[in-house]
Every structure is written in C-alpha cells, then in structure tokens.
Amino acid sequence: MDFRHVVFAPGPLLWAGATFSEVAAPYGDERAAGGRRGGTAARGCGGLAVPCDGPSRLDRFGCPNIIGRMPSVETMDDLVRAIAEFEVEDLDLQAEPAALAAARRSLAESGLLLVGEIHGVRENPLVIRALTRLLEVDAIALEWSEELAGFLRRGLPVDHPLWWFGDGRVTAGHFAVLHADDPLTVTLFDGAVRAGDDWSARDSAMAHRVLGLAARTLVVAGNAHTSLDPTDDGVPMGAVIADARPGVRAVRIQYGTGRFYNGGPREVNDEVGPAGLRLDGEELVLTLPEFHEATVPHLPFERLQQTYGRLGRVAFG
C-alpha cells in the first residue's frame, strides 16, 4: 500500500482555525436532509435534523449531542482491538446503469470521483471499498491530515495526536479496510492552513492537492466539501475541482436512520429511498437507509490539551 505525503510551504500554521476552547465543542461540516421531531424539523448542524431517543443538548453548532454515551476509544490498545473486531464485509451495492455510467464518465474525463459523507458512520469505509471495486479504482484520497501519512503501517495507525480528535473522519473501520483490502494507493489531502485563512481557503488548498493526483482516484470528504457549486459556507473543494476539471462528478451519500459519531454520539431519522447508487436529476446519490455508529478514536479535551497544547491552535472537521 502506497501512502503519499505532500509538503507545504512554511508559515504560521493552524488546523482549520479552531482554538482549544472550540475543540471542546464537537462539530462536523456535513450536510444532510432534515428529518422530523414532533412533526417539526429540528434544524442545526448545517441543516441536519437529528431526533434523539434519549437526553440531549445542542452544541454550539445547533447539533443535538446525546448525553451519557461515549462509545469512542481513548487508548491505542482499544483502537487496535476495535480494528481487529471490525468485520470487513462486502456491501451489496446496487447501481442503476445510468448512475454507474455517470460515475465512470467522471473518472474517465476528470480522473476523479468525489464522495461526500457524514463523518463517523460505520458503513463509510465499506462504501469506499464497494465503490473502488465497482468502478475498478485502485487509488483513494481521504480527508485526513497529510501529516498522518507517515504514521500508517500497512493500513494500521502508529500513534499521533491527529488520530484522536474524534470528529469521525478516522474510524476503526477505515484502518480495518485499508489493512485487509487489496493494495491501494492512499493519499491524505487535508493539511495546515495559514492563520487568517477562511473556510474557502482551506477547501481551495485541499482541492489543489487533489488536482495534483495522477491516478484515477476516489476522493472522500465531508459532504460540505464535495459540492460542485458554491454554498453558504463559501467555495468548497468540489467547486474548485469542477472549475479545473468540468467533467468531475460528486456522489452524495444519503443517510436514512441510524447513529453516527462526530465529536459525540448523534442520531438521524430520515425517510430515504432504497439502498443503492442512483441519479436524482443530475446528482449522483448513494442511499444507505440504515446505518450505524462508527468506533472513533477520541481523547477527552483535557488530555488533548495536556498532551498537544504546544501546538497552540488545532482543529478538525
């Protein structure tokens, strides 16, 4: 398995601009269709409606956070155990012929196919695996820090602070799939941005790293980043890539009912169509009617601060 590492120019650096006090308030940048709670959509967390079956509170992004559950792992031993226990199984991914043709055309014309996820879902790495097989792609790019490329051995993690932020991008299932699956070229394309840069600047930097890839590549990121058009957040990575390579397409994973882990355990309860890859108008949609919470490495804020306070400013998402 070949892991590529990209080096950036020096300068004042931060991880997407969040201070340690902000790290204590978990968040994500995914977008999803709204469900209903008590007959009214509960909007927050980028428009995500999250009905809960237990006590909850809204974090500073308006995203319900279930209280009293912390099923993440906090030690390397527990993470290794969770990786070993993860069952790498074939996902029965049905694809409409027109959708499959559109995905293949994106790879043929642009060399890329973007995939937008909600972080912290157990099935996400299995979806990646299924798409690489369906589309016969042997290269993937993940929204993980490029710094972590040197801390992977045959798909398994070597301890580093950036594994432990708990935003759901990194899960036990990802490591299990990378370790067990056929050889893949894996690129990690998130990285440091300069102090004062905004959301769009970070996405532009990620886009230019992705545009430097030579192989036909499946590019996976939070779905706020994979939109091919500007959004309320700014200009996402996908829009920058689309300007450079007009033939690129993006697959949006549509989640139905289940739990995910993004800074803490959360839930979605939404009515969606049948499982599989389809075209919804011009948009490629991969539907998961049911999904489950991933096992995510996540250290408590105090331990992050004690161990990695020397970094000054950190972020994730």
What pLDDT, on the 0 to 100 scale, is given for residue 181?
Answer: 78
What pLDDT, on the 0 to 100 scale, is given for residue 218?
Answer: 98
Backbone torsions φ then ψ of 77, nearest 5 degrees: -60, -45
What pLDDT, on the 0 to 100 scale, is given for residue 309?
Answer: 62
Helix (H, G, I), strand (E, B) or coil at 33: coil
b/e per residue, 27-38, with b = 16+ CB within 10 A?
Answer: bbbbbbbbbeee
Mean pLDDT of all residues in 95-120 = 98
Decide if pLDDT at 146 tops 70.
yes
- pLDDT confidence bin for 308, thresholds 50/70/90: low
Contact yes or no for 201/193 (Cβ under 8 A): yes
What would the two tokens of residue 274 be?
């049948």
Decide if pLDDT at 62 tops 80.
no
Mean pLDDT of all residues in 144-154 = 93
Decide if pLDDT at 129 tops 70.
yes
Domain contains 1? no
Mean pLDDT of all residues in 109-129 = 98
What pLDDT, on the 0 to 100 scale, is given for residue 182?
Answer: 65
Q: Indicate the average pLDDT of the chain.
A: 80
What pLDDT, on the 0 to 100 scale, is given for residue 97?
Answer: 98
Q: What is the pTM of this model?
A: 0.80
According to the per-residue pLDDT averaged within each range, which of 16-20, 29-33, 64-68, 99-103 is highest?
A: 99-103
Q: What is the pLDDT of residues 72-91, one digit of tens each?
A: 899 999 999 999 999 999 99
Domain contains 155? yes
Domain contains 2? no
Domain contains 5? no
By the 10 Å C-beta count (0-12 exposed, 13-18 middle, 19+ buried), 53 is classed as: exposed
Q: How far is CA 82 from CA 156, 164, 180, 290, in A?
A: 12, 14, 14, 21
Domain contains 3? no
Contact yes or no for 222/143 (Cβ under 8 A): yes
How far is residue 303's CA from residue 314's CA, in Å, rounded to a whole number? 14
Domain contains 153? yes
Tokens 């809204």 belong to which residue?
Answer: 58
Domain contains 194? yes
- pLDDT confidence bin for 96, thresholds 50/70/90: very high
Helix (H, G, I), strand (E, B) or coil at 37: strand
Helix (H, G, I), strand (E, B) or coil at 103: helix
- Type of residue found at 250: A
Helix (H, G, I), strand (E, B) or coil at 222: strand
Decide if pLDDT at 172 tops 50.
yes
Q: What is the pLDDT of residues 173-210, one digit of tens each?
A: 999 999 997 688 999 999 988 888 999 999 999 999 99
**Alpha helices by DSSP H, the chain:** 20-23, 76-85, 97-110, 124-135, 172-180, 199-211, 237-244, 301-308
- Type of residue found at 259: R
Mean pLDDT of all residues in 107-117 = 98
- Type of residue found at 304: L
Q: What is the pLDDT of residues 1-59, one digit of tens each?
A: 443 433 222 223 233 333 333 333 333 456 554 332 222 233 334 333 333 333 444 44
What pLDDT, on the 0 to 100 scale, is given for residue 195?
Answer: 85
Give just the sign of the alpha carbon dihedral 159, 140, 226, 228. positive
**Residue 278 CA, distance from chain mean position:** 21
Mean pLDDT of all residues in 144-153 = 93
Helix (H, G, I), strand (E, B) or coil at 304: helix
Mean pLDDT of all residues in 101-118 = 98
Helix or strand run (H / E) with residue 293: none
What would the two tokens of residue 165 be?
């932020």
Total tally of structural domains belonging to the chain: 1
What pLDDT, on the 0 to 100 scale, is given for residue 314?
Answer: 45
End-to-end CA, the chain = 25
**Whole domain around residue 251: which residue ranges?**
11-311
- pLDDT confidence bin for 317, thresholds 50/70/90: very low
Domain contains 316? no
How far is residue 78's CA from residue 147's CA, in Å, rounded to a whole number? 23
